[in-house]
Amino acid sequence: MEIHVYQKAMKAGKTMDLSNVYFVIGTSYAGKSTIVKNLAKKHHGIALEENYHDAKLPELDSREFPNLCYTRDLQDWHEFIRRTPDEYVTWLKNVKKECEIVELQMLEELLEKPETREKRIFVDTNICVETLHRISDPKHVLVMLADPTIGIHRFFDRPDPEKQFLYQLMLEEPDPQAALDNYREILTRVCSQESYDELLHSGFRVILRDEERSQEETVRLAEEIFEIG
Protein backbone atom coordinates (compact mmCIF):
# COMPACT_ATOMS: atom_id res chain seq x y z
CA MET A 1 0.00 0.00 0.00
CA GLU A 2 1.39 3.37 -0.95
CA ILE A 3 1.80 5.71 2.00
CA HIS A 4 0.31 8.70 0.18
CA VAL A 5 -3.05 6.89 -0.06
CA TYR A 6 -3.16 6.56 3.73
CA GLN A 7 -2.08 10.17 4.25
CA LYS A 8 -4.76 11.39 1.86
CA ALA A 9 -7.45 9.46 3.71
CA MET A 10 -6.30 10.75 7.10
CA LYS A 11 -6.25 14.32 5.80
CA ALA A 12 -9.76 13.88 4.46
CA GLY A 13 -10.95 12.53 7.79
CA LYS A 14 -9.60 15.56 9.63
CA THR A 15 -11.08 18.12 7.23
CA MET A 16 -14.52 16.62 6.57
CA ASP A 17 -17.55 18.11 8.27
CA LEU A 18 -18.74 15.10 10.28
CA SER A 19 -21.37 16.92 12.31
CA ASN A 20 -24.13 14.78 10.77
CA VAL A 21 -22.19 11.51 10.81
CA TYR A 22 -22.67 8.88 13.53
CA PHE A 23 -20.29 5.94 13.76
CA VAL A 24 -21.06 2.49 15.19
CA ILE A 25 -18.24 0.06 16.02
CA GLY A 26 -18.05 -3.10 18.09
CA THR A 27 -18.11 -6.88 18.06
CA SER A 28 -20.02 -9.43 16.02
CA TYR A 29 -23.60 -10.21 17.06
CA ALA A 30 -23.93 -6.94 18.98
CA GLY A 31 -26.54 -5.44 16.65
CA LYS A 32 -24.47 -2.88 14.74
CA SER A 33 -26.11 -3.49 11.36
CA THR A 34 -29.58 -3.43 12.85
CA ILE A 35 -29.10 -0.19 14.78
CA VAL A 36 -27.63 1.59 11.74
CA LYS A 37 -30.60 0.58 9.58
CA ASN A 38 -33.16 1.44 12.26
CA LEU A 39 -31.68 4.84 13.04
CA ALA A 40 -31.43 5.77 9.36
CA LYS A 41 -35.04 4.73 8.80
CA LYS A 42 -36.38 6.62 11.83
CA HIS A 43 -34.44 9.80 11.11
CA HIS A 44 -34.80 9.73 7.31
CA GLY A 45 -31.06 9.44 7.05
CA ILE A 46 -28.51 7.30 5.21
CA ALA A 47 -27.30 3.91 6.38
CA LEU A 48 -23.77 2.89 5.45
CA GLU A 49 -24.11 -0.73 6.38
CA GLU A 50 -21.61 -3.45 7.24
CA ASN A 51 -18.72 -3.65 4.75
CA TYR A 52 -20.04 -0.74 2.70
CA HIS A 53 -16.54 -0.49 1.27
CA ASP A 54 -17.38 -3.55 -0.87
CA ALA A 55 -18.95 -1.17 -3.39
CA LYS A 56 -15.45 0.07 -4.22
CA LEU A 57 -13.84 -3.37 -4.35
CA PRO A 58 -14.04 -3.92 -8.14
CA GLU A 59 -12.02 -0.77 -8.84
CA LEU A 60 -9.31 -1.13 -6.17
CA ASP A 61 -5.68 -1.55 -7.19
CA SER A 62 -4.25 -4.73 -5.67
CA ARG A 63 -0.86 -3.05 -5.36
CA GLU A 64 -2.32 -0.43 -3.01
CA PHE A 65 -4.89 -2.66 -1.30
CA PRO A 66 -3.43 -6.19 -1.42
CA ASN A 67 -5.38 -7.47 1.57
CA LEU A 68 -8.79 -6.19 0.49
CA CYS A 69 -8.16 -7.53 -3.01
CA TYR A 70 -7.10 -10.94 -1.72
CA THR A 71 -10.63 -12.37 -1.70
CA ARG A 72 -11.60 -10.48 -4.86
CA ASP A 73 -8.79 -12.14 -6.80
CA LEU A 74 -8.85 -15.52 -5.07
CA GLN A 75 -9.05 -18.44 -7.49
CA ASP A 76 -9.56 -21.28 -5.00
CA TRP A 77 -11.54 -20.45 -1.86
CA HIS A 78 -10.25 -23.54 -0.14
CA GLU A 79 -7.01 -21.61 0.28
CA PHE A 80 -8.92 -19.09 2.37
CA ILE A 81 -10.05 -21.63 4.96
CA ARG A 82 -6.72 -23.49 5.02
CA ARG A 83 -4.77 -20.56 6.41
CA THR A 84 -3.39 -20.83 9.91
CA PRO A 85 -4.90 -18.68 12.68
CA ASP A 86 -1.75 -16.51 12.69
CA GLU A 87 -1.99 -15.93 8.94
CA TYR A 88 -5.69 -15.13 9.16
CA VAL A 89 -5.40 -12.70 12.06
CA THR A 90 -2.51 -10.85 10.39
CA TRP A 91 -4.51 -10.60 7.17
CA LEU A 92 -7.60 -9.36 9.01
CA LYS A 93 -5.65 -6.62 10.81
CA ASN A 94 -4.30 -5.39 7.48
CA VAL A 95 -7.75 -5.58 5.90
CA LYS A 96 -9.13 -3.27 8.58
CA LYS A 97 -6.39 -0.72 7.89
CA GLU A 98 -7.19 -0.75 4.20
CA CYS A 99 -10.95 -0.63 4.89
CA GLU A 100 -10.44 2.51 6.93
CA ILE A 101 -8.82 4.25 3.97
CA VAL A 102 -11.55 3.26 1.53
CA GLU A 103 -14.38 4.01 3.93
CA LEU A 104 -13.09 7.50 4.69
CA GLN A 105 -12.76 8.20 0.97
CA MET A 106 -16.31 6.99 0.34
CA LEU A 107 -17.63 9.08 3.21
CA GLU A 108 -15.88 12.14 1.81
CA GLU A 109 -17.49 11.53 -1.60
CA LEU A 110 -20.91 11.16 0.00
CA LEU A 111 -20.58 14.36 2.01
CA GLU A 112 -19.69 16.30 -1.13
CA LYS A 113 -23.07 15.53 -2.71
CA PRO A 114 -25.59 18.38 -2.19
CA GLU A 115 -28.51 15.96 -1.86
CA THR A 116 -26.92 14.10 1.06
CA ARG A 117 -25.01 16.88 2.80
CA GLU A 118 -27.84 17.75 5.21
CA LYS A 119 -28.89 14.19 5.99
CA ARG A 120 -27.80 12.26 9.05
CA ILE A 121 -25.46 9.42 8.12
CA PHE A 122 -25.21 6.31 10.30
CA VAL A 123 -22.10 4.24 9.67
CA ASP A 124 -21.33 0.62 10.57
CA THR A 125 -17.61 1.10 10.22
CA ASN A 126 -14.17 -0.51 10.29
CA ILE A 127 -12.54 2.80 11.23
CA CYS A 128 -10.37 2.18 14.28
CA VAL A 129 -10.79 3.72 17.73
CA GLU A 130 -7.67 5.86 17.43
CA THR A 131 -8.81 7.43 14.17
CA LEU A 132 -12.33 8.04 15.46
CA HIS A 133 -10.88 9.90 18.44
CA ARG A 134 -9.01 12.13 15.99
CA ILE A 135 -11.78 12.88 13.52
CA SER A 136 -15.07 12.62 15.39
CA ASP A 137 -16.92 14.00 18.39
CA PRO A 138 -17.16 11.35 21.16
CA LYS A 139 -20.92 11.89 21.14
CA HIS A 140 -20.98 10.68 17.54
CA VAL A 141 -19.43 7.27 18.23
CA LEU A 142 -21.22 4.26 19.70
CA VAL A 143 -19.61 0.96 20.70
CA MET A 144 -21.86 -2.12 20.64
CA LEU A 145 -20.63 -5.27 22.35
CA ALA A 146 -21.71 -8.89 22.63
CA ASP A 147 -20.12 -11.63 24.71
CA PRO A 148 -17.05 -12.78 22.72
CA THR A 149 -18.11 -16.42 22.98
CA ILE A 150 -21.23 -15.72 20.89
CA GLY A 151 -19.15 -14.95 17.81
CA ILE A 152 -17.17 -18.15 18.30
CA HIS A 153 -19.98 -20.62 18.95
CA ARG A 154 -22.74 -19.14 16.77
CA PHE A 155 -20.75 -18.11 13.70
CA PHE A 156 -22.26 -20.77 11.44
CA ASP A 157 -25.75 -20.52 12.94
CA ARG A 158 -26.58 -17.47 10.88
CA PRO A 159 -28.12 -18.00 7.43
CA ASP A 160 -25.73 -15.43 5.90
CA PRO A 161 -24.75 -16.78 2.46
CA GLU A 162 -21.04 -16.05 3.02
CA LYS A 163 -20.95 -17.94 6.33
CA GLN A 164 -22.77 -20.93 4.87
CA PHE A 165 -20.44 -20.85 1.87
CA LEU A 166 -17.41 -21.12 4.16
CA TYR A 167 -19.08 -23.89 6.15
CA GLN A 168 -19.68 -25.93 2.99
CA LEU A 169 -16.05 -25.44 1.94
CA MET A 170 -14.91 -26.96 5.21
CA LEU A 171 -17.19 -29.93 4.75
CA GLU A 172 -15.52 -30.51 1.37
CA GLU A 173 -12.04 -30.71 2.92
CA PRO A 174 -10.29 -34.14 3.22
CA ASP A 175 -10.63 -33.79 7.01
CA PRO A 176 -13.72 -31.63 7.64
CA GLN A 177 -13.37 -31.75 11.42
CA ALA A 178 -9.78 -30.50 11.26
CA ALA A 179 -10.90 -27.68 8.97
CA LEU A 180 -13.70 -26.74 11.36
CA ASP A 181 -11.36 -26.88 14.35
CA ASN A 182 -8.85 -24.65 12.56
CA TYR A 183 -11.52 -22.08 11.76
CA ARG A 184 -12.86 -22.25 15.29
CA GLU A 185 -9.37 -21.33 16.53
CA ILE A 186 -9.36 -18.42 14.07
CA LEU A 187 -12.66 -17.21 15.52
CA THR A 188 -11.28 -17.58 19.04
CA ARG A 189 -8.40 -15.27 18.11
CA VAL A 190 -10.63 -12.75 16.33
CA CYS A 191 -13.31 -12.71 19.06
CA SER A 192 -10.87 -12.48 21.92
CA GLN A 193 -11.54 -11.07 25.36
CA GLU A 194 -8.64 -8.69 24.78
CA SER A 195 -10.32 -7.18 21.72
CA TYR A 196 -13.57 -6.90 23.64
CA ASP A 197 -11.88 -5.11 26.55
CA GLU A 198 -10.13 -2.66 24.21
CA LEU A 199 -13.51 -1.61 22.81
CA LEU A 200 -15.15 -1.59 26.23
CA HIS A 201 -12.51 0.86 27.50
CA SER A 202 -12.17 2.84 24.27
CA GLY A 203 -13.48 6.04 25.80
CA PHE A 204 -16.72 5.91 23.80
CA ARG A 205 -20.19 5.12 25.13
CA VAL A 206 -21.17 1.45 25.07
CA ILE A 207 -24.36 -0.56 24.57
CA LEU A 208 -24.14 -4.20 25.65
CA ARG A 209 -26.15 -6.91 23.91
CA ASP A 210 -29.30 -7.76 25.85
CA GLU A 211 -31.62 -10.47 24.55
CA GLU A 212 -34.49 -9.02 26.59
CA ARG A 213 -34.24 -5.53 25.07
CA SER A 214 -36.36 -4.68 22.02
CA GLN A 215 -34.99 -3.02 18.90
CA GLU A 216 -37.02 0.08 19.72
CA GLU A 217 -35.44 0.28 23.17
CA THR A 218 -31.97 -0.08 21.67
CA VAL A 219 -32.74 2.74 19.24
CA ARG A 220 -33.70 4.98 22.15
CA LEU A 221 -30.44 4.15 23.94
CA ALA A 222 -28.48 5.02 20.82
CA GLU A 223 -30.40 8.27 20.40
CA GLU A 224 -29.53 9.25 23.97
CA ILE A 225 -25.85 8.60 23.32
CA PHE A 226 -25.91 10.47 20.00
CA GLU A 227 -28.12 13.19 21.52
CA ILE A 228 -30.63 13.05 18.70
CA GLY A 229 -34.38 12.94 19.08
Residue 10: which pLDDT band, with cuts at 50, 70 and 90?
Answer: low
* DSSP sequence for 9-78: HHHHHHHS--TTEEEEEE-TTSSHHHHHHHHHHHTT-EEE-TTGGGGGGGG--TTT-TTHHHHHT-S-TH
Residue 49 has pLDDT above 80, yes or no: yes
pLDDT for 58: 96
* Region at 110 (left for phi over 0; alpha for psi -120 to 50; beta for the rest): alpha
Neighbours of 119 (CB within 10 A): 17
Domain that holds residue 195: 3-226
With b for 16 or more beta-carbon neighbours within 10 A and e for fewer, the 164-198 pattern comes to eebbebbeeeeeeeebbebbeebbbebbeeeebee
Higher pLDDT, 4 or 115: 115
Residue 167 has pLDDT above 90, yes or no: yes
Residue 229: which pLDDT band, with cuts at 50, 70 and 90?
Answer: confident
Residue 2: which pLDDT band, with cuts at 50, 70 and 90?
Answer: very low
pLDDT for 163: 87
Task: Write the pLDDT tens digit of every residue in 29-41.
Answer: 999 999 999 999 9
When divided into structural domains, the chain yields a total of 1
Judged by DSSP in three states, 176 sits in helix
pTM score of the predicted model: 0.90
CATH code: domain of residue 174: 3.40.50.300
Q: How remote is the C-alpha of 171 from its chain's centroid?
A: 27
